[in-house]
Amino acid sequence: MKMKAFCAFLCAVVAAGGFAGLRWSGVSASALPSPSLKQVAIIALAAAASAAPDHSPAFHVAGKPENIELNTAIERGLLTAEFEGNGRERMVATLTSKSPMTFQLKVFAGQMFENGCSSVIVVRSGEMQIAPGKPANLTVETAATRSANKVCDAVFHISYGRMPRLEPLLAYVGQHPELSAAAIQTAVMALTENLPLSAVAKFPSASGDLPSRFDTSAFRAGTFDIMKALNALRELGVKDAAIAMTIDPQLKIEAMIEPLTRAIAMRYYGIAPENEWTYWKTELLNGDPGTRHYALYGIARFYPDIALDMLPKWARETKTKSVFRMSAIQALADTQRPEALPILRQLMDEFGRDTDFGRAAASAARYLDASLAKLATNHNTVAFRDSKTVSQF
């Protein structure tokens, strides 16, 4: 607009200069024809139009859409948003753009949402392109920040809260896409509430669940996810002793028994492959009284040849505590060896079908028979350790 006003002024100066030049050249001004009233009006309107501000739309060059964070987009009125989540791992944002331009919406890890019952935090950043006037749904992965959350579909609103203690974990999660939602949730709870193993693990507590006014069933995790969470926290520099879950000795032997968890458990607890047999022997003879008998299952799974010879002796030994005798019978099925079937049937006959040990042998035989039939059908076997020459007890 300033440039147009300047041009209009310059034209007037040039015109005045032209009249002056005519006078200077000796031509009389009175000799020139006078403009009519109509011509004067046209000239005035043209000058006014040239000086008026330009309200025509500016020309925009198409380029990369602007990146805008969720809070900023809402504050600037670029979109409206409704949020619905399950109070744990999922938040869905229903978005409607109010902007005339396309932009890239970003939801960063650490963004929080809450309602009167629950609070969640985004654990993996999400983004999507928002087009003018078009509704869109954006789903982001979240985690509950407290075990009191109500895990059910509910409406949430955006929160400006922050949890600095979780920031290192969120950065770690962003670099490890293999972490499951359950593992992330377990790690978050360890930092926000530091729950005991009995409140976190899916497996039953060897010492029995202590009564609690809190229901944490919605946040219980499998052994593999617990170990992945603990490994992540250790890599972040969190001391093992500072995490309540690690205090319970049951976790270690549960992780070692589980075939899918055993490798990560051996790394986490520093058990070298050549020392594994020593670990099982030590657990059985000198382990925690509540979990010593668990070692029989580990021996059956990873040293089946030894177990086929050893477990029947433990089952028959009358001086052995009942929990060890019962575990020895049940563990024979975990060898996944056909040779264990006749042993279990013989034990069933020896103990009697109406005794606890006899019924346990019959149940283990049925389980093993079904497992072997299934393995023969789909050939999806779990690789157990090959037999080695090791000293028995």
Per-residue pLDDT tens over the stretch 219-276 = 999 999 999 999 999 999 999 999 999 999 999 999 999 999 999 999 999 999 999 9
User: Could you give the 3-state DSSP secondary structure of residue 287?
Assistant: coil
173/124 Cα distance (integer angstroms): 7
Q: How confident is the model at residue 134 (pLDDT cuts 50, 70, 90)?
A: confident
Q: Mean pLDDT over all residues of the chain?
A: 85
Q: What is the strand order of the sheet 66-69 is part of? A: 66-69, 103-107, 126-130
Measure the CA–CA gap between 126 and 140, rounded to whole angstroms.
Answer: 6
Kindly report which listed range (42-51, 113-122, 288-297, 352-361) carries the lowest average pLDDT score. Answer: 42-51
Check residue 131 and give its pLDDT. 93
What residue spans of the chain are helical by DSSP H?
2-24, 37-51, 70-75, 167-175, 181-192, 197-200, 223-235, 250-257, 262-269, 276-286, 294-302, 304-316, 322-334, 340-351, 356-378
Contacts of 29 (CB under 8 A, 6+ apart): 19, 22, 23
What residues pair up with 144 in beta bridges, in sequence order? 120
Contacts for 367 with CB less than 8 Å, ≥ 6 apart: 333
Nearest to residue 337, comparing CAs of 361, 301, 362, 363? 301
Helices 250-257 & 294-302 angle (0-180, nearest 10): 20
Mapped onto helix, strand or coil, the DSSP state of residue 77 is coil
Output the pLDDT for position 213.
63
C-beta separation of 230 from 245 below 8 A:
yes
Provide the pLDDT for residue 212: 59
Distances (CA, A) of 271 to 147, 233, 322: 33, 19, 30
* Class of residue 1 by CB neighbours under 10 A (exposed 0-12, middle 13-18, buried 19+): exposed
Q: Tell me, what's the pLDDT at 66?
A: 85
The alpha carbon of 217 is separated from its chain's Cα centroid by a whole number of angstroms, namely 18
Question: Which pair of tokens denotes residue 263?
Answer: 């490798």
Of residues 36 and 1, more confidence is placed in 36
Query: What's the pLDDT score for residue 373?
Result: 93
- The half-sphere exposure of 284 on its side-chain side, counting CA atoms within 13 A, is 23
- The tokens describing 84, both together, are 């619905």
In Å, what is the CA distance from 334 to each residue of 60, 206, 328, 330? 71, 20, 10, 7
* Burial annotation 150-168 (CB, 10 A radius, 16+ → b, else e): ebeebebebeeeebeebeb
User: How does residue 46 score in pLDDT terms, banded at 50, 70 and 90?
Assistant: very low
Going by the DSSP 8-state scheme, the letter that residue 202 receives in this structure is: S
Q: Does 111 or 10 have the greater pLDDT score?
A: 111
Per-residue pLDDT, 61: 37
Q: Which residues of 266-280 are buried (b: 16+ CB within 10 A; e: fewer)?
A: bebeebeeeebbebb
The CA-atom distances, in angstroms, between 146 and each of 101, 182, 209 are 39, 14, 20
Over residues 126-134, mean pLDDT? 92
Choice among 12-21, 229-238, 297-306, 327-336 with the minimum mean pLDDT? 12-21
Q: Is the pLDDT of residue 315 over 60?
A: yes
Between helix 276-286 and helix 250-257 the angle, nearest 10°, is: 130
